[in-house]
Structure 1
Amino acid sequence: MSDAWGMTPLNWRDPAEVRHRLVTGADPNARSFALRATPLHEAVTTHAPGDVVDVLVAHGADVDAADAEGATPLREAVRWGNRSAAEALLRAGADPWRPAIAGRSPGRLGLDGPLTDLFAGLAGAPSISVQERDRQTRADALIASYEWEGYWDGLDLAFVVAVDEDELIGRLGAEPARCPLTDSPFREMAEDPHADWAGDEAEDEDDGEPEYSPMDFEAWVARRDGGAVLIGAAASSDSLCARLSVGTRLATVFFNLKGSCYVYCWADGRRVRQSEPADYPADPWPQEWLHRFGHHAHASSHEARALAFITAYTGVRIDEQWLIHAPKRGVPRTGA
């Protein structure tokens, strides 16, 4: 986030530095260029303590200012789990029930996270039904079930509804008879994260079966309850996803080598959603709410949120042991 007070670095955790800026003429309600964030937004998202909020408020900062996406400082404090700042904003009169992004207030967001105690007893707190609580509990359990070691390294996963292995292989343009059962591409990475797929030959004794290297294949396919799973870079191709999702639904997650991940949902040949677990969608689907997209205060990885979300969308579920150890059908590289 760019500094609303210009490009000069600012230590938002130091109340004295913030106070000095204010008394020397800085505008407590200045706006950053793109997101239209105020100094209060800047402070709470960089985990500034409540003392900094107090200083800004004392100099006239608007506690309910909304940025370009509709987020108030209190909503950002809740999203980032900044308890000290949230407490200070509430003391200063910030409205916990003011509708923010997609109509959900900071307090409503807070009631589903680690700051619940700050909002549960406030006047105007909404009643959350047992059914809502149960849905959130189940979603959190699904997220937790996907908290694995990171084997991703740029590979993609796609879950396809109600399609078996042979049909999925055919939609990939390959012949099922030429797609042998082989080790999961994740097995070697799990056993040795630094393994060179194109390097050492297998040390297993020759049992008469052909030996394959992950380098022989461009994708892997395997059946799961509710459909099938596609592993490999091909899963992020728009033209391929359009073809694979004709007459059904598909969700794919792309794991970026830089550490981020992206989710794409398809239905009957058309992409219907693009999202990122690290960011809060401007117009979120209910399942994105449930699976903690953009909720930095929640103790879960972006990868786990993404996998839980695509499971919720497709009904296809995998587990770590299956991903690493269950054999998969290897789809040979073009021309192989």
Structure 2
Amino acid sequence: MTGWAGVTWESWRDHGDIRARLDAGADPDEWDGGHPLHRAAGFGSPEVVAELAGRVSDVDALEYGTTALWGAVMEDRPDNARALVAAGADPWQPQLGGWSPGRLALAGPVPDLFAVPDEEPGLTAAEQATVQRGRQLVEALGRFHYEGTGLACIAGIDAAEAIRRLDAAPADEESMADFLDDPYEYSMDESLLIAGVTTVPGGCIVTQPWGYTPSTPGAMARLTTGTFGYGLYANPKSGNQGSIVRNSTVEASDLHPGGGPRPDDTPEEVLAGYLYRHHAVAYACAFAGLRPTSARAVTGPADTWVRLPDLDYWKR
């Protein structure tokens, strides 16, 4: 990492510092096992991007299957994207799931970021509808604190059916009011058996703003009989943890909703990963086809607060 010692994320916005390092011999193609241009494209300034782009051996070099231009689009850095294109980057180079940075940008906040060649397809009608739904869902949920929250987003059933499947009982209103004043004053054994259940368009959401129980295999198995859902735990220690459960069977686990597309994603998954990057709750809702009109089903007050049976929810 010769020449890059001491570089921080903020450094990629300091044109003078980066230029001085490059002039002193820093390698424009190598930083900490990756490419400096990729770091600058996603987190830096257009001036730093232009400086690096003029010195690299390949402005479209790949890192984990994507170019620096892909990173600029993914992080909503249109000025960085323009600087890369001015340096020769190709907006239409297919990358994850066959998507190119240019085509992906059509689904973003600056759809006219690149001039679209005649031979390049735009978004299909289905993709346009997905983008519209995604924008509406992200806007409806808004920004809110959800760290430490466990969720089960379940398709096709309402709150009453979810309560029946969980064999839960409505919580006493007076004791629930005391609990909600400060859930963390209660023991974990007790708080992990209290959850909120709310009907939303498309299905229902089971929430626990102080714990993980709704996302556990046992809870998800009970809730998804004959249907499917997405479990999410916003782990304060390790980040968002997701799972897909279909008809009581875990289909995928150890997922990272809100983290953006992955190299092995399908075209549909890449689009969803882009639309819901940094929006893990929206991703979970969208996967289950839920269309909440606010964050209430996640943060409370829930339609019904319930007490769950004292079971081992880590077992199906």
TM category (shorter chain) comes to 0.7 to 0.9
Cα separation, 2, equivalents of 1:184 and 1:264: 34
Is the 2:171–2:306 Cα contact (8 Å) retained in structure 1?
A: yes
Q: Distance in 2 between matches of 1:140 and 1:184?
A: 38
Moved more, 158-167 or 51-60: 158-167
CA contact (8 A) 1:219 1:332 kept: no
- Asked if the contact 1:162–1:248 (Cα under 8 Å) also holds between the matched residues in 2, the reply is yes
Aligned mates of 2:3, 2:276 — CA distance in 1: 26
Q: CA deviation at 1:122?
A: 4.8
Distance 1:198 1:42 in 2: 39
For 1:58, the equivalent position in structure 2 comes to: 54
Residue type at the aligned position of 1:9:
V
**Alignment partner, residue 95 of structure 1:** 90
* Aligned-partner Cα distance in 2 for 1:84–1:321: 36
| C-alpha contact (below 8 Å) 2:28/2:52 kept by paired residues | yes
* Aligned pairs (5 A) from 1:32-43: 32-33=32-33, 37-43=34-40
Aligned to 1:250: 229
CA offsets 1:18-59 (integer angstroms, 9 cap, x no match)? 2222232222222543xxx3111121122222x223322332
- Tell me if 1:262 matches 2:241: yes
Contact 1:5 / 1:32 at 8 angstroms: preserved in 2? no
Correspondence for 1:302:
279
| 1:253–1:306 Cα contact (<8 Å) kept | no
Aligned residue identity for 1:326: D
Partners of 2:274 and 2:228 lie apart in 1 by 21
Matches of 1:251 and 1:89, distance apart in 2? 37
Equivalent residue for 1:156, pick from 150, 154, 157? 150
Identity across aligned pairs (percent)? 27
Q: State the shift of 1:94 in Å.
A: 0.7
Match of 1:115 among 93, 106, 110: 110
Q: CA deviation at 1:147?
A: 1.8
Gap change, CA 1:304 and 1:187, over 3 Å in 2: farther
In the alignment, does 2:216 pair up with 1:237?
Answer: yes
Query: What is the DSSP-based 3-state SS (H/G/I as helix, E as strand, rest coil) of the residue aligned with 2:12?
Result: coil
Q: Does 1:8 align with 2:3?
A: no
Where in structure 2 are there 5+ consecutive unaligned residues? Answer: none
Counterpart contact for 2:42–2:75, Cα < 8 Å: yes
The code of the aligned residue for 1:84 comes to D
Pair 1:283-2:279 in alignment = no
In structure 2, the residue corresponding to 1:117 is in which secondary structure?
coil
CA distance in 2, matches of 1:285, 1:306: 15
Aligned residues: 300
Equivalence for 1:210: none
SS in structure 2 at match of 1:159? strand
Larger Rg: 1
Residues 269-297 of structure 1 show CA distances to partners (whole Å, capped at 9, x for unaligned) of 3322323213322233555445454766x
Question: Deviation per CA, 1:119-143, whole angstroms, max 9, x where unpaired?
Answer: 1445654233444323311221122
Tell me the CA shift for residue 79 of structure 1: 1.0
State the match for 1:209 in structure 2.
Answer: none
**Which residue of structure 2 lines up, in the alignment, with residue 208 of structure 1?**
none
Task: Kindly indicate whether the alpha-carbon contact (under 8 Å) linking 1:146 and 1:308 is maintained by their aligned counterparts in 2.
Answer: no
Partner amino acid, structure 1, of 2:59 = V
What is the CA deviation profile of residues 197-233 of structure 1, one whole-angstrom value per residue up to 9, with x for unaligned ones? 3769xxxxxxxxxxxxx95770436463655543332
Q: In the alignment, residue 43 of structure 1 is paired with which amino acid?
A: A
- Where 2:129 maps in the other structure, the secondary structure is helix
Q: For residues 186 and 113 of structure 1, what CA distance do their matches in structure 2 show?
A: 42
How far did residue 63 of structure 1 move?
A: 0.6
**What amino acid does structure 2 have at the position aligned with 1:158?**
A
After superposition, the C-alpha distances for 1:294-332 in whole angstroms (9 at most, x for unaligned) are 766xxxx524423432442xx575744564152233225
Residues 23 and 109 of structure 1: is their aligned pair in 2 closer, same or farther, counting only changes over 3 Å? same
Letter in 2 for 1:302: H
**Native 8 Å contact 2:155 2:204 kept in 1:** yes
Distance 1:196 1:132 in 2: 43
